[in-house]
Amino acid sequence: MTPTPHAPAAPAYLQIEDVVKEFDGYKAVNHVSLEITKGEIFALLGSSGCGKTTLLRMLAGFETPTSGRIVLNGQDLAGMPPYERPINMMFQSYALFPHLTVWDNIAFGLKRDGLPRDQIAERVETMLKLVQLGKYARRKPHQLSGGQQQRVALARSLAKRPQLMLLDEPLGALDKKLREETQIELVNIIEEVGVTCVMVTHDQEEAMTMASRIAVMSEGRILQVGPPGEIYETPATRFVADFIGNVNLMDGVVSADEPDHVVIDCADCRHYVGHGITGTKGMAVGVALRPEKIQLTREAPGDEFNRARGKVKDIAYFGSFTVYHLALPSGAVLKVSRSNVQRHRDHELTWGDDVWAHWSRSAHVVLTQ
């Protein structure tokens, strides 16, 4: 049997339908609609104050939407109190009980729910194994590292076997290196349990590393939803292009508009883009170019398109890569990154050098909004 074209995607497990939350007439969450699939790790990504926590609190039942619907597994959650929802929320400050051992911290919610003792013991043991803290069962939280405490908090949340896990800035309390390690551990644990997860973060690397899909939020609205690679490689708007990763944004005008290519004239260069766009000749557009998609050479490239002359103005060494700032003729700055594959490089570029930057016909993203 041949698959039907346009076969429906996996049915949505969590549906957020046109949800609004107003505080004193201010829309903290502004007509948000999202569909999340079972087993997904879904990230809400946006800067502080954009409404992420408010949206999460509505899922958990701590806030009531001003309008709109939230449906989990076919059931409308309106009017259902937090403790009846098959949802567990792990907070920004995951506050373990300091006077309780790891074991008792994990058992706490189960005891409160009145689960039989043998079942509690079984679940706690399973969780301890899952987060690899079996040896630490009798310790108190202050005798653990930050990352270990984080894993206890996760075990405590998962022990209740929620259908939906909500994580609000789960790793905010950890320092950078530990955070990166814990991100991967968390994903492995969440995937092993198979629980659907909505996480909130303002850290784009965290969203990229952990999530299967990301929703970029700004001022209460969702700007774009997609897998990490799609958000990074094909941002839909200037805001998303600029918000995710490093980017060079240029203003230009479409000077040739063909089905298979367009030419966009900017102050310092002419872009030849190897695909058509939804636009017309004479239209003002933005061009986004990621620093790692640009090459540097001392000799002028043969092609008159997709190149710019510049003078090295700043060099920032990051260890695994180096970022060069080139001053272009118009005065604009072009950021170019090169990975440091070799330890010593001959003919290293230095301040004041005149160089050519060039890039391929598929390096650009043309932005019409």
Give the span between the Cα atoms of 201 and 244, in whole angstroms: 13
Residue 15 Cβ vs ligand ADP, minimum distance, rounded to whole Å: 20
Of ligand ADP, Mg ion, none, which one does residue 50 interact with (CB within 5 to 8 Å by kind)?
ligand ADP
Of ligand ADP, Mg ion, none, which one does residue 228 interact with (CB within 5 to 8 Å by kind)?
none
Task: Check the CA dihedral 243-248-254-259 and report its sign.
Answer: negative
- CB nearer to Mg ion: give 47 or 234: 47
Residue 54 Cβ vs ligand ADP, minimum distance, rounded to whole Å: 3
Of Mg ion, ligand ADP, none, which one does residue 30 interact with (CB within 5 to 8 Å by kind)?
none
Of Mg ion, ligand ADP, none, which one does residue 51 interact with (CB within 5 to 8 Å by kind)?
ligand ADP
Residue 48 Cβ vs Mg ion, minimum distance, rounded to whole Å: 7
Rounded to a whole number of angstroms, the distance between the first and last alpha carbons of the chain is 42
**Contact characters 20-59, Mg ion, x per CB under 5 A:** ---------------------------------x------
- Work out the burial of residue 106: count CB atoms within 10 Å of its CB; fewer than 13 is exposed, 13-18 middle, 19 or more buried: buried
- CB nearer to ligand ADP: give 46 or 291: 46
* Count of residues in contact with Mg ion, rule CB under 5 A: 1
Which residues, 53 to 112, sit near Mg ion by CB under 5 A? 53
Cβ atoms of 168 and 90 closer than 8 Å: yes
- CB nearer to ligand ADP: give 95 or 300: 95
- CB nearer to Mg ion: give 91 or 239: 91
Residue 181: what residue type?
E
Give the span between the Cα atoms of 259 and 243, in whole angstroms: 30
Cβ atoms of 113 and 86 closer than 8 Å: no
From 349, 202, 210, 359, select the one nearest 290 (Cα to Cα).
359
| Most distant CA pair in the chain, distance | 76
Of Mg ion, ligand ADP, none, which one does residue 214 interact with (CB within 5 to 8 Å by kind)?
none
Task: Check the CA dihedral 258-264-265-269 and report its sign.
Answer: negative
Residue 208 Cβ vs ligand ADP, minimum distance, rounded to whole Å: 18
- Work out the burial of residue 229: count CB atoms within 10 Å of its CB; fewer than 13 is exposed, 13-18 middle, 19 or more buried: exposed
Which residues, 151 to 190, sit near Mg ion by CB under 5 A? none
DSSP states along 141-184: GGGS-HHHHHHHHHHHHHHT--SEEEEESTTTTS-HHHHHHHHH
- CB nearer to ligand ADP: give 199 or 264: 199
Residue 30 Cβ vs ligand ADP, minimum distance, rounded to whole Å: 10
Give the span between the Cα atoms of 45 and 276, in whole angstroms: 30
- CB nearer to ligand ADP: give 52 or 156: 52
Q: Mention every residue, 6+ apart, whose C-beta is less than 8 A from residue 242.
A: 249
- CB nearer to Mg ion: give 53 or 157: 53
Of ligand ADP, Mg ion, none, which one does residue 28 interact with (CB within 5 to 8 Å by kind)?
ligand ADP
Cα–chain center distance at 87: 22
- CB nearer to ligand ADP: give 15 or 218: 218
Residue 46 Cβ vs Mg ion, minimum distance, rounded to whole Å: 9
Residue 213 Cβ vs ligand ADP, minimum distance, rounded to whole Å: 18
Residue 168 Cβ vs Mg ion, minimum distance, rounded to whole Å: 6
**Residue 201 contacts Mg ion per CB under 5 A:** no
Cβ atoms of 261 and 350 closer than 8 Å: no
Binding site for ligand ADP (CB under 6 A): 23, 28, 46, 48-54
User: In the complex, which residues of this chain contact Mg ion (CB under 5 A)?
Assistant: 53
